[in-house]
Amino acid sequence: MSGIIQLSPLDLSFAALLILALAGLSIRLRLGIEKRILISAVRTVIQLTLIGFVLKALFASAASGWVALMALTMLLAAGYEVTSRQKHKLRGAWGFGIGTGSMFISAFTVTFFALTVIISPEPWYAPRYAIPLLGMLLGNTMNGVSLSVNHLTQNVRSHRSVIETRLALGQTKSEAIADIRRESIRTGLIPIVNAMAAAGIVSLPGMMTGQILAGNLPLDAVRYQIMIMFMVSAGTGFGTLAAIWMTSHRLFDDRDRLRLDRLRS
């Protein structure tokens, strides 16, 4: 780590001025989102500061129990976020359960794979590697899962008569919903696939930028970024598949009836 330039609170307040300017523009143009901009900005400051302290303590202790607790908290927060982004949620605990479950299956498996097989820190759960990696996986998987599940439930609602006609003609639930399911999975995967295609040309991914700013050699940063891109795409893909599979099954009952009453209107 060769001399990174430290940022003082004063430096950050200059950056904050830009956000204030944006909020001002929102008021001026009556966009109506100034409140959300400001609240989100404040949340960024508070959440990141808190996580800074948490990570500092975590890196100092590196006990497996604390790492597990941290990972669990992140998972539940991602599950909550997925649920709150749904226009039509599954009733009961299903929405949260399926979102959280699919992210657990994919993000945790992929992170574990990356830590044990690819990076191999000592111990494998070393928080300096485990927590940022899991964070990136959960963040992206969360986007894929929430986009695709939202697409699924909205389309099942709007294509109800098509699905029921197909059922009435003797198709199984999987046949009747196959097209919508495929499209939903695609919707969830397109952002991350596009990000892979545009990486390095249009955008410098955040993690690589961070490493370069922190003084690492660009080629080292690139290798990490390639690994992350692959992990994140795979994690998003597996998570999206799992969430769509579970959600679409929940939308039918054991007699292959479409059960829109299981969605909140």
Partner 1 sequence: MSRLVTEGLRTICGGPFSFSVERGECVALSGPSGCGKTLLLRALADLDPAEGDVLLDGMSRNEVPAPQWRRRVGWLPAESSWWFDRVGEHFSKPWKKSDESFQWLEKLGFQREVLDWKIERLSTGEKQRLALFRLLLNEPQVLLLDEPTAALDHMNVGLVEDFITTYRRDAGAAVLWVSHNPEQIARMADRHFQFAGNGLEAVQ
By CB under 8 A, residue 265 contacts partner 1 = no
Task: Choose between 73 and 172: whose C-beta lies nearer to partner 1.
Answer: 172
Q: Residue 177 Cβ, how far from partner 1 at the closest point, in Å? A: 11
Binding mask 218-237 for partner 1 (x = CB under 8 A): --------------------
Task: Choose between 13 and 172: whose C-beta lies nearer to partner 1.
Answer: 172
Site residue total, partner 1 (CB under 8 A): 18
Q: Residue 91 Cβ, how far from partner 1 at the closest point, in Å? A: 15
Q: Residue 126 Cβ, how far from partner 1 at the closest point, in Å? A: 52
> Count of alpha carbons within 13 Å of 83, Cβ hemisphere only?
20
Q: Which of residues 17-76 bind partner 1 (CB under 8 A)?
A: none
Task: Choose between 3 and 170: whose C-beta lies nearer to partner 1.
Answer: 170
Q: Which of residues 163-192 bind partner 1 (CB under 8 A)?
A: 164-172, 179
Residue numbers at the binding site for partner 1 (CB under 8 A): 159, 161-162, 164-172, 179, 253, 255-258
